[in-house]
Amino acid sequence: MTPDEQLADDLRQHVRRLASEPRPAGSAAHLRAREYVADHLARAGFAVEHAPFRADGLPPGVNLLTRPLPERPDLPLLLVAAHYDSAPGTPGADDNASAVAALLELASWIRPLLDGAGPRARLQLAAYDQEEDGLAGSRAHSGGVAGPVLGMLSLEMLGYADARPGSQRLPPHLAGLYPDTGDFIGVVGNQASRGLVQAVAGAMKGAEGLKVEALAVPGNGEQLPESRQSDHASFWDRGLPALMVTDTSFFRNPHYHQPSDTPDTLDYAFLARVTAGVRLAVRGLLR
């Protein structure tokens, strides 16, 4: 098995474990997913904090946050995150087990690079809770982030691809500007995060066989509400640089928020290429 095939297989195993059944906030499957993610982050060599929060009208939530490394508060913070809850009634293989799987594989790959005096930023990994309930987890966390922030990368639905012409839908005013085949990964930021978008998209293009498209929206995405539908929007609203890495969600994946969003619908070779691209982007931002 080649390294690329091994990565695809490892990602598949994570998704199968996380997305065997729906895991809405407060469910038994949700608790099992939380412990699975915490265990794998710890195995990768990170100290993991279970950070409780409470949003109005919701049950208590728990974000999983790694201790930033290296332990140098003078360095700016780079945050990479994915939400581990699913919407009710869907196993959430693409939304968002695919991104959690990529986060776990990033963790084990990047950890050895964080020792010593090399990195120019601290790295923190986050598995957010209750994204499906108004971004509750990331709103709770973003309010307490202190010090300079280099950027926040939200990993949101990374594993669905369809190379057939017409498989990729777009908002009307973006039609013709991007491919109509759903075999690329998108990097979406706001104008204030344009530099971060360019750096991440440029680095991800270094992953063999990965097609990358970038978009910077005005303001905080008010003119394109679909661009706000993940945890990066919590950071935009606080004036912090942030972006979303995504397979474009319901603009491509017909299983979005459906019982049919199951592990067998994903393209794991594509997910492996995306994960490799995220690795390159994170390494590039830390150097």
DSSP string over 161-194: -EEEET-----GGGTTTS-SEE--EEEEEEGGGH
Cα distance between residue 54 and residue 286, in whole Å: 32
What does each of the 287 residues of the chain score in pLDDT, given as a tens digit?
A: 899 999 999 999 999 999 999 999 989 999 999 999 999 999 999 999 999 999 998 999 999 999 999 998 899 999 999 999 999 999 999 999 999 999 999 999 999 999 866 789 999 999 999 999 999 999 999 999 988 999 999 999 999 999 999 999 999 889 889 999 999 999 999 999 999 999 999 999 999 999 999 999 999 999 999 999 999 999 999 999 999 999 999 999 999 999 999 999 999 999 999 999 999 999 999 98
Q: Domain spanning 3-286 has what CATH number?
A: 3.40.630.10
| pLDDT for res 175 | 87
Cα distance between residue 250 and residue 226, in whole Å: 10
| pLDDT for res 117 | 62
- pLDDT, tens only, 37-91: 999 999 999 999 999 999 998 999 999 999 999 998 899 999 999 999 999 999 9
User: Number of helices (H) and strands (E), helices first, in the chain?
Assistant: 7, 10
pTM of the model: 0.97
| pLDDT for res 187 | 98
| pLDDT for res 147 | 82
Residue 280 tokens read as: 């390159």
Helix %, strand %, coil % for the chain, to 5?
40, 20, 40
Q: What is the three-class DSSP state of 84? A: coil
| pLDDT for res 1 | 86
Q: Which of 120, 125, 142, 126 is nearest to 76 (CA)?
A: 120
Q: Which of 191, 190, 212 is nearest to 281 (CA)?
A: 212
Cα distance between residue 265 and residue 252, in whole Å: 12
Cα distance between residue 145 and residue 205, in whole Å: 30
CA dihedral over 112, 113, 119, 124, signed as positive or negative: negative
- pLDDT, tens only, 153-167: 999 999 999 999 999
